């Protein structure tokens, strides 16, 4: 179920889309290309034009050099062959979009026309870069970011190096924003909000010990030692299963502290 903040964002995002923007491109999560609310079907033969659109977005969408694109999309081709492949993919992409103006080229560099395309990743990055109000609601800000971040960058697409690099960068930037918001909540002793943020971060990176420690600390401060211990056990299970390592010393020290407090609380309640 969407929160009120997410519903407001959905409405404001759609409203903010200029009537000039003929296309909506979603690259966070499952790739989708839409005209308004109507999905554009991309046949298999247009796989390379689709990858060209995705690569242009990944490389910033503005003045991306032809060399960068040919290296990313046709690494086995050289010279004229790679350049010809790029020209053909660009021609077919413009055909798919039914307009030359959606992709501009000048001085050997390609740019996506932001008057023609709305891209969820651009909206996500704009929200990250927006100046933060010291008195603002960090929970609402993270809610807006999570609404836009429907999944990892091209998570169902090819795992080429440029895809993985962009995917990692975007995920790390969101995790950083979540950690900052959680720490702000901790300083204000808003433990429930901080715990909610740490859980949100763990959904994105289930092997991040720092997030588990943050969640354990929140549950400890709330007096919910069983939930803190459950978070530790989950952390230990995943680290052992996927990385073959135990939790580090800091995480184990917090675990023992929680256990001791849990025992003391149990003894105290029995008196």
pLDDT digits (tens, 9 = 90+) for 113-170: 999 999 999 999 999 998 877 777 889 999 999 999 999 999 988 789 999 999 999 9
In sequence order, what are the beta bridge partners of 35?
23, 38
Identical fold, 4-118 and 159-265: no
Q: Is the pLDDT of residue 18 over 70?
A: no
Residue 224, pLDDT score: 94
Q: Domain locations in the chain?
A: 4-118, 159-265
Class of domain 4-118: mainly alpha
C-alpha of 218 from chain center: 24
CATH code for 159-265?
A: 1.25.40.10
| C-alpha dist (Å) from residue 269 to 219, 262, 263, 264, 265 | 18, 11, 10, 9, 6
Q: What is the mean pLDDT of residues 229-249?
A: 97
pTM here is 0.88
Cα(202)–Cα(53) distance, integer angstroms? 31
Q: In the chain, at which residue ranges do the beta strands (DSSP E only) sit? A: 23-26, 32-35, 38-39, 64-65, 103-106, 109-112, 117-119
């Amino acid at each position: 179920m969407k929160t009120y903040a997410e519903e407001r964002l959905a409405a404001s995002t759609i409203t903010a889309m200029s009537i000039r923007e003929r296309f909506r491109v979603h690259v966070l999560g499952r790739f989708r290309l839409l005209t308004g609310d109507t999905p554009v079907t991309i046949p298999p033969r247009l796989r390379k034009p689709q990858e060209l659109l995705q690569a242009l977005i990944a490389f910033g969408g503005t003045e991306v050099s032809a060399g960068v694109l040919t290296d990313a999309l046709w690494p086995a081709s050289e010279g004229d062959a790679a350049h010809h492949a790029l020209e053909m993919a660009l021609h077919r992409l413009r055909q798919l979009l039914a307009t030359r103006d959606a992709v501009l080229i000048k001085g050997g560099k390609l740019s996506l026309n932001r008057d023609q395309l709305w891209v969820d990743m651009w909206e996500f990055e704009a929200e990250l870069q927006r100046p933060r109000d010291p008195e603002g609601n960090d929970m609402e800000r993270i809610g807006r970011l999570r609404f836009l971040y429907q999944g990892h960058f091209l998570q169902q697409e090819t795992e080429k190096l440029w895809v993985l690099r962009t995917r990692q960068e975007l995920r790390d930037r969101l995790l950083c924003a979540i950690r900052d918001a959680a720490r702000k909540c901790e300083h204000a002793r808003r433990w429930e909000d901080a715990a909610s943020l740490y859980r949100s971060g763990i959904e994105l990176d289930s092997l991040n010990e720092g997030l588990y420690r943050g969640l354990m600390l929140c549950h400890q401060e709330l007096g919910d030692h069983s939930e803190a211990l459950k978070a530790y056990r989950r952390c230990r299970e995943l680290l052992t299963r996927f990385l073959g390592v135990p939790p580090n010393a800091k995480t184990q020290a917090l675990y023992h502290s929680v256990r001791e407090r849990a025992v003391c609380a149990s003894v105290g309640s029995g008196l």
